[in-house]
């Protein structure tokens, strides 16, 4: 997959936020799919093991976040290089927060609700940075749209919570069984 980054010497933070948001969501979706197909035994175990210990992908995410911070602080990239570091940052962020529930409940399972909640919060903040007009450009219609969005998001999260409870009741035992048995 080739990503054509804008060629600018001083990139727009909103443009960078859009790149981060897209890369973050894509990484999260792909990592969830990969974990599911490994646990379902549709593909062989691709997990990283060190001395019999499963190294969770949040560790790779932490290393990517550290590398990104170092690169931005010490080499001060600009233009296309900054966009490439934005993608690496987003991948690290997604891999780390995909397993956020495991930070909170050490020894807990992969399919924890806290991980999903963390991903939703981060994606929402990135979307706000990427798409909300700067404050000096906001007009009455923006505030009305903001209020409507808050109401709709509240309703959405209420319904999402109900659907998660339903899925947890129906699919939770199967996810627990997959996690307990582990990949072959």
Assess contact for 101 and 108: CB atoms under 8 A: yes
What residues does 55 pair with on adjacent strands?
Answer: 48
**HSE toward the beta carbon, residue 8, CA cutoff 13 A:** 9
Whole-number pLDDT of residue 109: 65
Positions of the chain with pLDDT under 70: 1-10, 104-113, 135, 137-140, 142, 160, 164, 166-168, 170-172, 174-184
Number of separate helices (H) and strands (E) present in the chain: 6, 2
**So what's the pLDDT on residue 56?**
79
Cα(58)–Cα(15) distance, integer angstroms = 26
pLDDT, tens digit, 9 for 90 and up, residues 140-176: 676 777 788 778 777 877 776 777 676 667 666 766 6
Alpha-carbon span 19 to 157, nearest angstrom: 25
pLDDT of residue 86: 94
């Amino acid at each position: 997959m080739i990503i054509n980054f804008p060629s600018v010497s001083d990139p727009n933070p909103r443009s960078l936020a859009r790149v981060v948001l897209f890369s973050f969501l894509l990484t999260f979706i792909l990592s969830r799919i990969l974990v599911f197909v490994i646990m379902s035994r549709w593909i062989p175990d691709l997990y990283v093991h060190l001395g019999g210990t499963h190294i969770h992908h949040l560790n790779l995410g932490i290393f990517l976040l550290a590398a990104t911070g170092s690169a931005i602080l010490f080499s001060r990239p600009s233009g296309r290089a900054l966009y490439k570091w934005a993608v690496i940052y987003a991948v690290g962020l997604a891999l780390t927060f995909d397993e956020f529930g495991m930070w909170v409940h050490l020894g807990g399972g992969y399919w924890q609700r806290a991980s999903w909640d963390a991903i939703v919060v981060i994606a929402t903040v990135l979307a706000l940075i990427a798409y909300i007009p700067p404050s000096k450009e906001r007009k009455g219609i923006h505030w009305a749209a903001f209020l409507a969005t808050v109401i709709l998001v509240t309703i959405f999260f209420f319904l999402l919570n109900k659907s998660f409870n339903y899925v947890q009741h129906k699919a939770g035992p199967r996810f627990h069984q997959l996690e307990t048995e582990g990949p072959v």
